[in-house]
Amino acid sequence: MDNSILNVYRGDVVENSHRGHIAVVNANGELLYSFGDPFRITHGRSALKPFQVLPVMETGTADHYGFTDADLALCASSHSGEEIHRSRATAMLWRVGIDESHLQCGVSPPIDTKSYEELIRSGQSVTAVCNECSGVHIGMLATATYMKEPLGTYTSETHPVQKRVKKAVADLTDYPENGIQLAIDGCGIPTYCMPLTNIAKGFARLSTPEIVQKEHQESVDRIVNAYLNRPEMVTGEELYSTRVMRVFGRRLLVKEGSQGVYGICDRDTGIGIAIKIEDGRLTELPPVVNEVLRQLKIGIDGEIQQLAKDTNPPLKNTLQQPVGRFKTEFVLEKHKR
């Protein structure tokens, strides 16, 4: 079966084909539309961060330290390392009473090239705060600090912090804890592997917190509002996911994950969408997401047109000459209910 989700043409010839899988479900987990294998066992990676952050609120940590929407969004982010992210991360550490030395996410430069260049010009050092996952680690460290738990082992799957996170992920995705396959994510914390349909179900349930376990209902509502009120804290000022949430107002909540994973919550229809690009290419996601939204008739009032530069964009060389094009060439299969 050819699961080509997007082809890259150089001239009129397909130079590269990218395979992929899509699952579209409702909050009950019923499969509505699919492409490829909607049950593919998939590492959710950072796309699961809206679920991973729930214990920050449920333990009382967020209220204790006065975390705002911007703080909570950063705790569930894959930020681009802009000044707004670095300064807030530093302020959160100070509020919790710890410093960068406690972060176990590793040191990496800002994803945002302009921010990286500004750091170099100003003579500042690249630190763990610049890491795209520093906000998630700060949320976990804050929880461990508030709960008076060890800080040095907070990334271990046996630590109380990670046990709470795993339970929240299992509850929201409606997948049994003992069925989740664990591995280590790029930033050192556990990553969770499950069927693509369950990742989609988790996103569908973000739109209907009243049907999730009572202990999660308030925190689901809070993280949804944090994402939609401060989308720039989740990724970056000009990145695709931020633009999607801004263009659609309060309708769509989206979160990308490393290696070509993407989750979408449509709050108007209550559906959840999960996408996986087989070869892990993130640059192919925006055209695919736009095409999924178009086929599902989400954004028929012009929202997708505002994201037009991401819809089958031209392929350019280093001289910025158009030499080909990206083209989404898949059709979602509708499933009977």
- Between 1-5, 28-32, 131-135, 278-282, the lowest mean confidence (pLDDT) is in 1-5
pLDDT of residue 2: 76
Pick from 162, 200, 187: nearest CA to 42: 200
User: Which tokens belong to 284?
Assistant: 């192919």
Residue 149 in this model has a pLDDT that exceeds 60? yes
Q: Tell me which residue of 222, 241, 261 sits closest to 72, measured CA to CA.
A: 222
Question: Which stretch of DSSP H or E encloses residue 194?
Answer: strand 190-195
Cα–Cα dist 239/17, whole Å:
24
**pLDDT above 90 (res 161):** yes
Q: What is the phi/psi pair of residue 273, to 5°?
A: -130, 135
Question: What is the DSSP pairing of strand 31-35 with strand 41-43?
Answer: unpaired
Report the alpha-carbon distance of residue 313 to residue 89 in Å, rounded: 34
Q: What is the pLDDT of residues 188-226, one digit of tens each?
A: 999 999 999 999 999 999 999 889 999 999 999 999 999
What is the band of 1 on the pLDDT scale with cuts at 50, 70, 90? low
Ordered by start, the domain boundaries in the chain are: 4-334
Spell out a b/e string for 106-145, using b for 16 or more CB atoms within 10 Å of the CB, else e: eebbbbbeebbeebeeeeeeebbbbbbbbbbbbbbbbbbb
pTM: 0.95
SS3 7: strand
pLDDT of 314? 86
Kindly tell me the sign of the dihedral angle through the C-alpha atoms of 121, 238, 111, 82.
positive
Helix axes 83-96 and 134-146, enclosed angle (nearest 10): 10
Query: 4-334 belongs to which CATH class?
Result: alpha beta
pLDDT in tens, 281-335: 888 899 999 999 999 999 876 888 899 888 888 889 999 999 998 899 899 999 9
